[in-house]
């Protein structure tokens, strides 16, 4: 007798190769239209599924998980950050949660570097000028940005992406500073040429560029608060490719508007997909729609990780990217 395949509900459209494999391996319910699922649809999904595959756009909170059916044993997140899943509730309901680390590290670090360059060298402004048809030609004092070579970069969160950014930054002549809950091993510090700052406040006051590369957790919510943002020097720029919630977006917007800091490059927002309308008016802000890890290669790699996590779990083994184990 053949064993019944587990019902895997996928909340968003994934790369075709991943969806094909998902259907071969499991009883997969896909989201062909890619319309984000509303609360009622998510409740229905957790009621029925053996495995749920959500993304950052799905808020899997305690209210949703309260409806989880007895079959739901695994949430195999498509993405690294799991701040949209209530991990404690999942664990207490016996639901294991996995994610997709590593495979989006280099792409996200590339995008962080791109934002640092875009803000410093006014790439967005230049592009908009060309498209407006108003470009009157070159001039010696035209479109001057700031050199990044020789400046100080402060990385907030020296995990995988922070380290990948540090490697790139050195090639661009930036000196690397970082703040992390725990100091990284001295061999890594040496490889990256990175200086640890125990005090985030002191690092902020010292650097020219700040990059947010830590996850959003209760401990990092508004870590860059209005008070801390004020420690930045007026010529400093801030880049965020991690999570909007780590930065007080209202305070940041106000400071950008008043030129209390020079610029910001944001790929993530506090109330995504909503963006503070005042940010949209600012020339010193480069704004991207959460596309830090958006490469075809990366999305396929993420999908493969999801498949492996589900397959190992349903085969009775510990999935490689387990974030928490469901307790029962």
Round the CA-based radius of gyration of the chain to a whole number and report it: 22
Tell which one of 55, 217, 284, 312 touches ligand 8YV (CB under 6 A): 55
Other beta carbons within 10 Å of 16? 10
Binding mask of the shown chain, residues 248 to 277, with x at each position contacting ligand 8YV by CB under 6 A:
------------------------------
| Residue 234: cis peptide before it, omega within 30 degrees of 0 | no
Between CA 7 and CA 287 the distance in angstroms is 38
Among 4, 17, 9, 20, CA closest to 58: 9
Active-site residue, 206 included: no
Instruction: Please select the residue that binds ligand 8YV; options are 45, 64, 78, 214, rule is CB under 6 A.
Output: 78
The count of chain residues that interact with ligand 8YV, using the rule CB under 6 A, is 9
Q: Characterise 11 by phi-psi region: left (phi > 0), alpha (psi -120 to 50), beta (else).
A: alpha
Non-local CB neighbours of 158 within 8 Å, separated by 6+ positions: 166, 178, 179, 180, 184, 194, 213
Binding mask 192-231 for ligand 8YV (x = CB under 6 A): ----------------------------------------
Residue 4 DSSP label: P
Position of minimal CB gap to ligand 8YV? 79
Contact between 81 and ligand 8YV by CB under 6 A: the answer reads yes
Select which of 122, 163, 243, 299 is catalytic: 243
Task: Please count the residues of the chain.
Answer: 328
CA–CA dist 238, 212 (Å, integer): 8
By the rule CB under 6 A, 178 interacts with ligand 8YV: no
Concerning whether 243 is annotated as a catalytic residue, the answer is yes
Query: Cα separation of 221 and 58, whole Å?
Result: 19
Residue 111's φ and ψ, nearest 5 degrees, are: -65, -35
Judged by DSSP in three states, 188 sits in helix
Characterize the bridge pairing of strands 51-53 and 152-156. Answer: unpaired
Told to check if 292 binds ligand 8YV by CB under 6 A, we report yes
Closer to ligand 8YV at the Cβ: 90 or 207?
A: 90
Residue 71 in the binding site for ligand 8YV (CB under 6 A): no
Cβ proximity to ligand 8YV: between 78 and 269 the closer is 78
For position 293 contacting ligand 8YV by CB under 6 A, the verdict is yes
119 contributes a contact to ligand 8YV by CB under 6 A: no
SS3 265: strand
Per rule CB under 6 A, is residue 80 in the interface with ligand 8YV? yes
Between 105 and 262, CB nearer to ligand 8YV? 105
Query: Which residue from 79, 244, 265, 319 is in contact with ligand 8YV, where contact means CB under 6 A?
Result: 79
Q: Per the residue annotation, which of 121, 222, 290, 322 is the catalytic one?
A: 290
Quick check: is 281 catalytic?
no
Judged by CB under 6 A, does residue 97 bind ligand 8YV? no
Q: How far is CA 175 from the centre of its chain?
A: 23
Q: Which residues bind ligand 8YV (CB under 6 A)?
A: 55-56, 78-81, 104, 292-293
Active site residues: 243, 272, 290
């Amino acid at each position: 007798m053949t064993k019944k395949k587990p019902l895997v509900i996928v909340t968003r459209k994934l790369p075709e190769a991943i969806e094909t494999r998902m259907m071969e391996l499991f009883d997969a319910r896909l989201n062909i239209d890619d319309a984000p699922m509303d609360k009622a649809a998510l409740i229905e999904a957790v009621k029925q599924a053996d495995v749920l595959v959500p993304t950052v756009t799905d808020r899997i909170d305690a209210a949703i998980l309260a409806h989880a059916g007895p079959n739901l044993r695994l949430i195999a997140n498509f993405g690294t950050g799991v701040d949209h899943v209530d991990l404690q509730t999942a664990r207490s309901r016996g639901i294991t949660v996995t994610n997709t680390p590593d495979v989006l590290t280099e792409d996200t670090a590339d995008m962080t570097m791109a934002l640092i360059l875009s803000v410093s060298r006014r790439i967005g402004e230049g592009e908009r000028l060309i498209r407006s048809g108003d470009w009157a030609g070159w001039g010696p004092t035209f479109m001057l940005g700031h050199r990044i070579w020789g400046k100080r970069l402060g990385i907030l969160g020296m995990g995988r992406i922070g380290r990948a950014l540090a490697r790139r930054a050195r090639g661009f002549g930036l000196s690397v500073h970082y703040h992390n809950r725990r100091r990284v091993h001295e061999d890594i510090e040496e490889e990256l040429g990175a200086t640890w700052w125990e005090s985030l406040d002191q690092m902020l006051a010292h650097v020219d560029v700040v990059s947010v590369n830590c996850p959003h957790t209760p401990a990092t919510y508004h870590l860059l608060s209005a008070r801390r943002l004020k420690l930045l020097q007026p010529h400093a720029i801030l880049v965020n490719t991690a999570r909007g919630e780590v930065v007080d977006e209202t305070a940041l917007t106000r400071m950008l508007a008043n030129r209390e800091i020079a610029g910001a490059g944001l790929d993530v927002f506090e109330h995504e997909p909503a963006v503070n309308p005042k940010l949209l008016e600012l020339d010193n802000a480069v704004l991207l729609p959460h596309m830090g890890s958006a490469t075809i290669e990366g999305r396929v790699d993420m999908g493969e990780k999801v498949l492996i996590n589900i397959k190992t779990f349903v085969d009775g083994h510990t999935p490689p990217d387990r974030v928490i184990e469901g307790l029962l």
